[in-house]
Structure 1
């Protein structure tokens, strides 16, 4: 996946953050759905979020 942003890193448009943080491998992987609630979300995206949200709660 680095190929997606390699040029932006080299040009300084993106900077590495949290390089000293350790990522601990677990059996569960974190999933995030990031979107602006104030903007219009495509119907298929909101349907997916509504479908998957109750299945991901701990």
Structure 2
């Protein structure tokens, strides 16, 4: 298995329903921690970043 095959398998895993669920949970937990760390001061910006990242990862 070459590097390209590994990359294809990883992409397929992330684009699955399970991959979408895992990435959504990770983005939610990460944004919650950032909001806690900043006292919610940058909540709008953090949520916009989370949404932008989520648009690029997961089900197509």
TM-score by length of 2: 0.30
Identify the structure with bigger relative contact order (alpha carbons < 8 Å, sequence gap 6+). 2
TM-score by length of 1: 0.31
The structure in which a higher percent of residues are helix is 2
